[in-house]
Structure 1
């Protein structure tokens, strides 16, 4: 983004050291680069204001040599392109820093937002067209199951089937429940996949992604799986492709890509899902009760919001260990893991507080040094 110079904003090495106004040496350059994003923006705003004053003085001197010449302009602190993108996409950042960024940034942000909106509309049109084609193909399969050999659409369809391709599936009206959220209906193939011992990321169980799965799931070809018990082939979700399409983080992400609020939402849906697949229903100990106690342990902790980032990796491990080894709920093990999360949180908090004190001291020192030389 050509708002300010890219790359290092430090003057060339042959620039007179006594005339440097911002990046006086490598130590100060490092301190400036370690400033927070909002402090960099505010610093650059002040530099621009003073540079404009110097340019006006230089112009006045050029027009009338009797007037005092302006001093050399100061170089700006480098702000990376991805940092500008962060500000543009965050209303909170825009409100906080818009005044300091000025008209050029606002104009660029408006054009970039318009381009994003066009790309979003294009993707939405492509998605709707794809869904329409899938609906037509499924209707053909239902009307003429014996004449359609390949449900993926790679095999030709008979002329008799094509005659019915415009007919939609039979419509069964569902009553809207006013004053409360519509109940989540889990697709049948989600149960088949879970029963095949295929790990399903918790991120797929957010309300948003479950709705997407019902609407867009058929656009992603399923995988075949041989049921160990019946020795019959069955279709299961291609979990990897769905996660890629929906932008669901894998298990390597420390929180599976879920915020605290998204985690709580997914936990409730996951519990309801386990209640439905438990042979003994909501009272079943194998799936329903374990899942309830698993999530309630964290939810009942008074520090749960603050410790979420530190507990989430333990939550994932405990949930996966249950799937892999059929472990039951072990209160002592959960408490042991919770104490580890508390310890990690305390260490992280102490480290951040120490760093904040160092940064505050550094900022005051750099700012005082900077204004002394203006």
Structure 2
């Protein structure tokens, strides 16, 4: 009968089981768990120093085996520091209460603090609208339209105008094609001011209207031709800002508002008489939004014409 040696059975040689240096018995494990945090930190500092000495001894043995023939024990495992204790140790005043803290734990705490700060910065940039994706402000290809010879394409409404509208009335003359082009081209150097933020929000920059009026002129100087070009552009911005689009409350009001003036037979020659009414009702709607009433508009339209000609 042939005897088969176990080493020839095709099984790979398994490394010998690791000999525990600290956690030798269940009783010792229970005693280690009963140590206070300060005692475990102190013990871990001692274990860390032993492991560093062994690492140096292994290097010396590898460099000169004859001079260092004695076997070197395996590294000793550190005693467990619970996750909630590690979080508490991130507080400087709590960490300072312990005189001996392992260097390895200092490294872990420092790495976690750096990671936490990076997450906080990323969250802050996102909340402030300053994350890289927002700063890049890549142009949305959906707004591109084919070029048609002899046809004027709509000019893009700059974000500064939209931000300003969130805080105050934007003068209508800013929306003439000429002024929209100026704002888009010179947006990087337009006069701006910080708006008072809502509670919990960061202050935003908006157009400094009095200073920009010095460049673009005043709304009171508009002609009917300027108005005819500007109000459709202004309405485009309102529709874009309204979450419900054309079906939104603001969009429906301004559609009826502008349609009323456009339907008046004498709108061109009487523009100097009713332009103040148009501006007044836009301001009133911001201050105290009300539904559109055609009878009220008719009465006010006639009253403003009469007052203008007296």
- Give the Cα separation in 2 of the matches to 1:260 and 1:324: 26
Whole-Å Cα distance in 2 between the matches of residues 171 and 323 of structure 1? 30
Residue 190 of structure 1, aligned match among 161, 171, 175:
161
Normalising by structure 2, report the TM-score. Answer: 0.51
User: How far is 1:170 from its partner?
Assistant: 8.9
Contact 1:217–1:242 (Cα < 8 Å) also in 2: no
SS of match in other structure, 1:303:
coil
Cα distance in 1 for partners of 2:226, 2:138 equals: 35
- Mark the CA change 1:307 to 1:217 in structure 2 (over 3 Å): closer, same or farther: same
Q: Which segment drifts farther, 222-231 or 183-192?
A: 222-231
Q: Which has the larger radius of gyration?
A: 2
Looking at structure 2, the residues matched to 340 and 171 of structure 1 have their Cα atoms a distance apart, in angstroms, of: 47
Structure 1 regions of 5+ residues with no counterpart? 1-168, 251-255, 349-374
**What whole-Å deviation, never above 9, does each CA across 1:60-110 have from its counterpart, x for those lacking one?**
xxxxxxxxxxxxxxxxxxxxxxxxxxxxxxxxxxxxxxxxxxxxxxxxxxx
Partner residue, 1:223: 193
| Count, aligned residues | 171
2:212 is aligned to 242
Highest RCO, 1 vs 2 (Cα 8 Å, sep ≥ 6): 1
Which residue of 2 is the match for residue 262 of structure 1?
A: 226
Q: Report the counterpart of residue 275 of structure 1 in structure 2.
A: 239
Relative distance call for 1:170 and 1:187 in structure 2 (3 A) is closer
More helix by share: 1
| Normalised TM-score (structure 1) | 0.42
The 2-side partners of 1:316 and 1:222 are apart by: 23
Alpha-carbon distance between aligned partners in 2 of 1:284 and 1:305, rounded to the nearest angstrom: 29
1:304 aligned residue (267, 273, 281): 267
Instruction: Indicate the SS of the match to 1:227.
Output: coil
Tell me the equivalent position of 2:292.
329
Question: Who is 2:177 aligned against?
Answer: 207
Q: Is the 8 A contact 1:271 1:291 kept in 2?
A: yes
Is the CA contact 2:172–2:231 (under 8 Å) kept in the aligned structure 1? yes
SS in 2 for 1:200: coil
Q: 1:338 to 1:178 in 2, by over 3 A?
A: same
CA distance in 2, matches of 1:206, 1:229: 34
Question: What is the Cα deviation at residue 316 of structure 1?
Answer: 1.1
Q: CA RMSD in A?
A: 2.4
Structure 2 unmatched ranges of 5 or more = 1-136
C-alpha deviations, 1:13-51, integer Å up to 9, x for none?
Answer: xxxxxxxxxxxxxxxxxxxxxxxxxxxxxxxxxxxxxxx
Q: What SS does structure 2 have at the residue aligned with 1:267?
A: helix
Measured in 2, the distance between the counterparts of 1:171 and 1:317 equals: 35
After the TM superposition, list the runs of 4 or more consecutive aligned residues in structure 1 that deviate by more than 3 angstroms. 169-176
Question: Which residue pairs with 1:338 in the alignment?
Answer: 301
Q: Secondary structure at the match of 1:223?
A: strand
The CA distance in 2 between the partners of 1:175 and 1:265, in whole Å, is 19
